Amino acid sequence: MKTLLGNILSFAAFFSCAFGLLVWLNASFLATDHYNNEFTVKGNLIRQTPSPKVVFVGGSNVAFGIDSQTISDSIGLPVINAGLLAGMGLRYTMDRYESYFKRGDVLILMPEYDHFYGDVTYGNPETAGYLPYLSDFAPSLLNLKQWNVVVTGFFKTTLQISVKGLYYKLLHSFRKEGNVFEYKMSGFNRLGDEVSHRSLPPNINNTGAYTVSGKFNAGYARHLFNQVRRLQHHGVQVVWLPPVTSRANVALNRKQITLIIERMKTAGFTYAACPDSLAYPDSLLYNAVDHLNKQGVEVNTQRVVRILRHCLGVNRKRIANK
């Protein structure tokens, strides 16, 4: 019995040391340009940019969907693109960034439709599992469901980074990077836009739609609505926009989108534009139903500018009359 216990403890110690070495190797060498590191960069941008400023928050539809500098030039305010990945979980994203907003700021909130259904808002293991690697990770913000996702994903993510990271490091040491898109932190510009894909050849895997599945997450909807009310109470203007996606995706999920709109209306919120206004043909997509190519970014940016000019103008008149 003592021998068995000793073997178990020895194996546990060996496994812990080996896994700890992998984590250190990833953080120090293999994952320095990891796409998800941009989460911390975007958070620092929100904190360090003086108010008033405009901050877009959402999934990758935001990261791949706007030209922040063009919007900034058009509305006369600094703009930050804080969109990253739906899989990071909107709940953690908003919980982490909420305290960074100051009076006079404008939050453009563009949740993925999935974030209102099932457990998508709590993140997926492949993405949220990376959170412990971030320097600004705040574990106290996680609920039990999020903890389960993060812990499960952390082990999987660590192993994937070790294998894939080493492969790409070796590959690029012998051969220069080609015209193939890679998800990495260096693909973002200084305002948080993913720009590396705009100069690459078209990606043919950019069509289709997917069904938003699961039950409407009323518990998280209340959490988000209360969060928005707190921000508004502290002088932050919140503009709700539907996420950028394909026309086919909106058509396929019309029922689910209608329910979101109804629940928002009951809570006193509305989209500043109809879902179809930010839904695009496949010709404007890049490599996913919610990632726009260069032309798509240009078209969407101009539409967003028109919406914001109207919304911010109305809000400023209301403030002046108070």
- Give the pLDDT confidence of 177-226 residue by residue, as tens digits: 667 788 999 999 999 999 999 988 877 666 679 999 999 999 999 999 99
Is 17 a residue whose pLDDT tops 90? no
Q: Tell me whether strands 285-288 and 291-292 are parallel, antiparallel or unpaired.
A: antiparallel
Q: At residue 182, what are phi and psi to the nearest 5 degrees?
A: -130, 135
Q: Tell me whether strands 279-280 and 79-81 are parallel, antiparallel or unpaired.
A: unpaired
Q: For residue 187, what are the contacts with CB-CB under 8 A and spacing of at least 6? A: 35, 194, 195, 196, 197
Residue 161: predicted pLDDT = 86
Residue with tokens 């073997």: 7
Greatest Cα pair distance in the chain: 79
Is 19 a residue whose pLDDT tops 90? no
Q: Determine contact, residues 68/49, Cβ cutoff 8 Å.
A: no
Residue 319: predicted pLDDT = 36
Q: How much of the chain, in percent, has pLDDT values that exceed 70?
A: 85
**HSE value, Cβ hemisphere, 13 Å, CA-based, for 200:** 19
Residue 11: C-alpha distances to residues 14, 24, 25, 155, 170 (Å): 5, 20, 21, 17, 31
Q: For residue 250, what are the contacts with CB-CB under 8 A and spacing of at least 6? A: 257, 275, 276, 279
pLDDT grade, residue 77 (50/70/90)?
very high
d(CA 61, CA 300): 11
d(CA 254, CA 251): 5
Residue with tokens 């103008």: 313
* Bond from prior residue into 52 cis (ω within 30 degrees of 0): yes
Q: What single-letter amino acid sits at 5? A: L
- CA R_g for the chain: 21
pTM listed for this prediction:
0.89
pLDDT grade, residue 315 (50/70/90)?
very low
pLDDT grade, residue 108 (50/70/90)?
very high
Q: Which tokens belong to 24? A: 């250190």
Residue 30: predicted pLDDT = 75
Residue 115: predicted pLDDT = 97
Residue 235: predicted pLDDT = 98
Is 10 a residue whose pLDDT tops 60? no
Is 55 a residue whose pLDDT tops 60? yes
- Give the pLDDT confidence of 238-291 residue by residue, as tens digits: 999 999 999 999 999 999 999 999 999 999 999 999 999 999 999 999 999 999
Is 16 a residue whose pLDDT tops 80? no
Q: What is the dihedral angle through the alpha carbons of 233, 136, 197, 156, rounded to the nearest 10 degrees?
A: -120
Is 300 a residue whose pLDDT tops 70? yes
d(CA 130, CA 122): 13
Q: For residue 191, what are the contacts with CB-CB under 8 A and spacing of at least 6? A: 45, 68, 69, 72, 79, 80, 81
